[in-house]
A and B are shown apart, each in its own frame.
Chain A
Amino acid sequence: MYKYDEYDQSIVDARVDEFRDQVTRRLAGQLTEDQFKPLRLMNGLYLQLHAYMLRVAIPYGTLDSRQMRMLASIAGDYDRDYGHFTTRQNLQFNWIKLEDTPDILAKLATVEMHAIQTSGNCIRNISSDQFAGAAADEVADPRPWAELIRQWSTFHPEFSYLPRKFKICVIAADEDRAAMRLHDIGIQLVMRDGELGARIYVGGGMGRTPMIAPLIRDFVPADDLMSYLEAALRVYNRYGRRDNIYKARIKILVHEIGADEYRRQVEEEFVAVKSLGLDPPAAELARITAMFAPPAFDADAPDRVDRTDPDFAVWLDQNVVAHKQPGHAIVTISLKPAGGIPGDASSTQIDLVADLAERYSFDELRVTHAQNLVLPHVRKADLYAVWEALRDAGLAEANLDLVTDIIACPGLDYCSLANARSIPLAQKIGARFADPARQRNLGELKLKISGCINACGHHHAGHIGILGVDKKGTENYQLSLGGSGAEDVSLGKITGPGFDEDGVVDAIERATDTYVALREPGERFLDTYRRVGMQPFKEAIYG
């Protein structure tokens, strides 16, 4: 894991001091809310439906037990004893007091954390593959590059006031576990003739105008990557619209001028930027990369796992995947228990997961964009002990990528932007499909719910997506089918008229029944939908 150097620490400490002064002035009436709002947002502090909400950055979704325990401690001391893991691999505290915020940020700084770049029109917290450094299919560990981009983007003088927020994702495998092409810039590290480089996609995103990022450059040598990103951002900063918030994202620019013209401008800018010496010296890259060196895996770790306990075996098959190191495995901890709130974890659960990471996973943890947690490096011989501990804490739901592994934004229960509630709907769907055998029979089925058009719940990318809307003051839900945030990326299509809360649950069941009736061997829900099209589903849903 990356460890702050003196510069990182001093930057974060100085920001805490600065914000403490700003809060003092706000409470003393020396700053109006209009003056203070952009300052608090630059420190991740929103005003939500019930209270202030603090969004804490978890860079590329990676953290250690010390950081995780700090999150649990803050949840207990300053919030209501829980936190919410988000689709941006961050964590939100829902009940924060303004007057406590400087102290909270100071505590976060002691464990190399902050809330910078979690709001505002800047380059946001970098996202990545939750299996980075553990997956067998990656060409390199994407985290050193994500860290480099974090350092480059933090307080970047040109890019702190972009036309709109900007999200960058770095992955290094053909399997896309991070919705890479639904980011403003998606970076896939690739090898070409033995040289590491990057495939660059620009102009993806969800929200009210969902778009899949087109390929802008099929290979940028690693030595040029930062200069190329600088050029890509400069073109956006120069020509991105600032007159209309709904047309301000880079996806609109790329769409309106076309990928070819955008590419031409970036290439032209790149020539100028490359002469500025922005790419890091080899020694600096080596310094960062060394901090992500693989842990001291047990070369003699046994590969065999005792599957005698049937409940354990089910969890093993569903939530545990292969690790690049023999004798080890990657464990995904579902934060989607039956009847629970997707992404929520109590301080006790957060502490427990920290303990498990320290004891069984080389002190490493990950947060996934699907609002789950990952222990990336577990010896197979320890899997049963990990499962027992998770089971006792209510964290052993064996539903990864199944219909109840639902992404849901906080929705109208918490969010001031939302039009409809997401969480109760997730709970109703969970109850309808509660039978584990039924879930497994349906197989991989990614269901995603957003409570408004901003699409924090990634509904466009759901095999089944649900968008909550306000219909004359009542909640209404639009259903879409056929989306994917993976390497087979696609945007879902709306089935037709919306439903009330119970109606949409019925509609989902009719859609899954249709899938079961029509599927061919080996087909996932998405595969069947793509083969047969919308019509059979529509007929079943609307009768």
Chain B
Amino acid sequence: MRILTGNDLASGDVTWWTGTGWSRHLDDAADVADQGEAIARAEEGARRVNVPYVIDATMTADGPRPAHIKDRIRALGPTVRPDLTLKPADPNAGSWVI
């Protein structure tokens, strides 16, 4: 699958295209197929996202998982600061990142 990601313009937070809007959670990411670039242009123009780009991912039983380690780290947070990740209370939250 192909998913679309970027950063929120004002906050800089990592965001994922859900099909209808943007979410901080990778699990909400939708397959954009071959529409990623067009969605990116429209959303960037509307100032709802900053520097969006399309990446390869795999759909798993637990949700979409980016193909590249850089995007997996982006999705959750620094591997060295689990307390700062999106799911700091879940010790297994990052088991798929590395």
Contacts and interface: CB of A to CB of B under 8 A. Distances in A.
Contacts of B50: 33, 47
B78 interface: yes
Contact of A29 (B7, B47, B77): B47
B79 interface: yes
B54 to A, nearest CB: 16
B87 interface: no
A49 B78 CA distance: 9
Interface string A410-445: 001110101001011001000000000000000000
B43 interface: no
Nearest to A53: B12
A157 interface: no
B47 A423 contact: no
A34 to B, nearest CB: 10
Given A47-B7, A49-B73, A474-B69, A414 B51 contact: no
Contacts of B47: 27, 29
B69 A475 contact: yes
A341 B70 CA distance: 19
Contact of B10 (A27, A95, A341, A416): A27
Given A29-B47, A97-B11, A80 B80 contact: no
* Size band of the interface chain A makes with B: 20 to 34
Interface string B7-20: 10111111000000
A29 B81 CA distance: 34
A416 B79 CA distance: 14
B10 A427 contact: no
Interface in A330-354: 341
Contacts of A474: 69
Contact of B12 (A97, A413, A423): A97
A414 B85 CA distance: 12
Interface in A484-539: none
Chain B interface, DSSP helix/strand/loop, else mixed: loop
Given A52-B12, A80-B84, A424-B79, A473 B74 contact: no
Nearest to B68: A473
A418 B78 CA distance: 13
B67 A473 contact: yes
A99 B9 CA distance: 9
A501 to B, nearest CB: 9
B11 A427 contact: no
Nearest to A410: B78
A458 B72 CA distance: 26
B68 A51 contact: no
Interface in A47-63: 47, 49-52
A231 interface: no
A51 B73 CA distance: 12
A418 B67 CA distance: 16
Given A33-B51, A50-B74, A421 B11 contact: no
Interface in B9-42: 9-14
Given A98-B10, A99-B11, A412-B73, A47 B51 contact: yes
Nearest to B51: A33
Contacts of A95: 12, 84
Nearest to B47: A29
Contact of A49 (B11, B44, B67, B70): B70
Closest 7 CB pairs of A and B: A51-B12, A52-B12, A413-B78, A423-B80, A99-B10, A97-B11, A29-B47
11 contacts: A27-B9, A33-B44, A49-B73, A49-B74, A50-B78, A51-B14, A52-B12, A412-B73, A413-B73, A413-B79, A421-B79
Interface of B: 7, 9-14, 44, 47, 50-51, 67-70, 73-74, 77-81, 84
Interface of A: 26-27, 29, 33, 47, 49-52, 80, 95-99, 341, 412-414, 416, 418, 421, 423-424, 427, 473-475
